[in-house]
Amino acid sequence: MTAQVVAFWTLAAVAVASGVAVFVTGSMARATFALLASLLAAGLTFLLIDLQYLSFLIIVMMVMEMLIMAVYMVMYMMNPAGLMPMTMVHNRRGAVLIASAVFVLLAVGVLLTPWPARRGAPPPDPTRQLGLSVMGPRMLVMIVIGVAILATMVAAIVLATDRGRYDRSGDEHDRWGRAT
Amino acid sequence: MGETVAAVVLLAALAVLAAGAAAFDASLAAGRVAIGDPLREAARLLVTQRRRTLLPDAPLRRIGVSGLPLVAVLAAAVLPMGEHAVADLPVGVVWFNGMEVGVWGALWLIGWSVNSVYPLVGGYRFLAQGLAYELPHMFALISAALGAGSLRVADVVAAQRGLWFAVWMPVAFAVYLISALAMAFWGPMNQAVGPDVAGGVPAELSGPDRLVFQAGRYTLLTVASAAAVPLFLGGGAGPALPPWSWTLVKTVAVLALLVWAGHRLPTIRMDRFMAATWLVLIPAVLLQILVVGIVVL
């Protein structure tokens, strides 16, 4: 139990500290990876409640997502290459006010919510139990929706790249080399 | 105690196999037996002074360079060497996947941190490649897990007692091999480190940094090959010999195939590879999953 508590507070401290680092660092790349570290620490806390599957899934998704985010974060920066020091904070006074208000709201919510007491014991296979609770009787619907979303993604990529400028064999030629 | 021994054995096996892959690679490149070349190169890099670029981001570079071999070794922890893995996690397949996407981070960090054009281009190329190979790769892993009805690597091995998954899931196996090449930015998927961008990601790395990067890359290729064995090639199953030696033989065979393929196949441009993976590999491997699902039912 104590090891679990120590691990929880360590991960919580890492998550918050790297969250703070996002806003004090002067480089978009460092901000991105500080945010990634924060999210990974949050993902690892799932190990403490035996949800290994969710934990590793969060790691997979967050690493991939933050790396793609890095591309966009750098792309939309005011100094494009991001090689000059920059600040991640704008509108300081407003930001402090909004952030404090949101923090107080969430903290009050946490303290005032009547959390339910634990009923029963953890199942022997939490991954399976999780799958059943999430999908359960809607398994078929979820699978169909999943395939539909994937098909939409593939179709969107196809439509987006159809006339890409690198898809042609040269000026006035299409991608198959025919004159246009 | 047993786990510590297993971890040491795993590290030693990875080091030997990665060095062997480097030696085979050097021999193929030189067109003669050049087993000593990688060792000489390693010794040279160890004593070479670091070259510094203007205004590098040193902490990020260190994280990237050390992260590459680290994620490879961590991914290997769930692979059984013979009968037992260092860490036999109930969701080992997901762990393998989770560690191996760390390569994205490592390559982009190196490419970014040295503050130089070609490495940066290489880093971005690898992210594009990641988007291309990751989905077919995940679906190939899912086919194996679905065939076994479990995400535990040992269960996947046990499910292949009758017939190897490579035999009745040939599409998933082929997709896995392609994604293994892409994961280790090897052979036809080497645009991130391609000669057209002066070596790409590691272009500005020198001395020990470059050594760690190269070692990490060969280790990654080794781990990608080693994972094909429990997932598709029946793990340690085989006549006469003990499981560990069959695991080793199969790993060496896959590794040799991948290294050899790297010298035989031309580089594929990222955008073409993207089209091929999303339009051909993803539908193909989805159909494979459908077939596996029907067989399992």
pLDDT single digits (tens) B98-131: 998 999 999 999 999 998 999 999 999 999 999 9
Are residues B275 and A27, on separate chains, in Cβ contact within 8 Å?
no
Are residues A60 and B97, on separate chains, in Cβ contact within 8 Å?
yes
pLDDT digits (tens, 9 = 90+) for B4-61: 899 999 999 999 999 999 999 999 999 999 889 999 999 999 999 988 888 888 999 9
pLDDT digits (tens, 9 = 90+) for A63-111: 999 999 888 888 777 665 555 667 777 888 998 999 999 999 999 999 9
Please determine, for residue A158, whether its predicted confidence score (pLDDT) is greater than 80.
Answer: no
Are residues B98 and A125, on separate chains, in Cβ contact within 8 Å?
no
How big is the A-B interface in CB pairs under 8 Å? 79
Nearest residue on chain B to A58, judged by CA atoms? B98
Nearest residue on chain B to A128, judged by CA atoms? B150
Domain that holds residue B30: 2-296
Question: Which chain A residues are within 8 Å of B124, Cβ to Cβ?
Answer: 71
Residue A111's CB: how many other CB atoms inside 10 A? 7
DSSP code for A118: P
Are B177 and B74 a contacting pair, CB within 8 Å?
no
- Optimal mutation site among A30, A46, A60, A167, interface B, most CBs of chain B within 10 A: A60
A42-56, A99-113, A114-128, B173-187: least confident range: A114-128
Query: Between the CA of residue B135 and those of B71, B127, B174, B291, what are the distances in Å?
Result: 19, 13, 14, 18
Nearest residue on chain B to A30, judged by CA atoms? B60
* Higher local confidence (pLDDT), B104 or A162: B104
Query: Between the CA of residue B171 and those of B136, B153, B254, B290, what are the distances in Å?
Result: 10, 20, 16, 12
Are residues A161 and B279, on separate chains, in Cβ contact within 8 Å?
no
Are residues A33 and B115, on separate chains, in Cβ contact within 8 Å?
no
**Distance from C-alpha of A60 to C-alpha of A36, rounded to nearest angstrom:** 11
Please determine, for residue A140, whether its predicted confidence score (pLDDT) is greater than 90.
Answer: no
As a whole number, the mean pLDDT across chain B is 93
Query: Between the CA of residue A177 and those of A172, B268, B272, B273, what are the distances in Å?
Result: 9, 18, 15, 18
pLDDT digits (tens, 9 = 90+) for B185-227: 999 999 999 999 999 999 999 999 999 999 999 999 999 999 9
Task: Return all residues near A168 (Cβ < 8 A) that are at least 6 apart.
Answer: A174, A175
Question: Which chain A residues are within 8 Å of B55, Cβ to Cβ?
Answer: 83
Domain count, chain B: 1
Q: What is the pLDDT of residue B278?
A: 86
Are residues A157 and B278, on separate chains, in Cβ contact within 8 Å?
yes
Helices (H) and strands (E) in chain A, counts: 6, 0
Q: What percent of chain A has pLDDT over 90?
A: 39
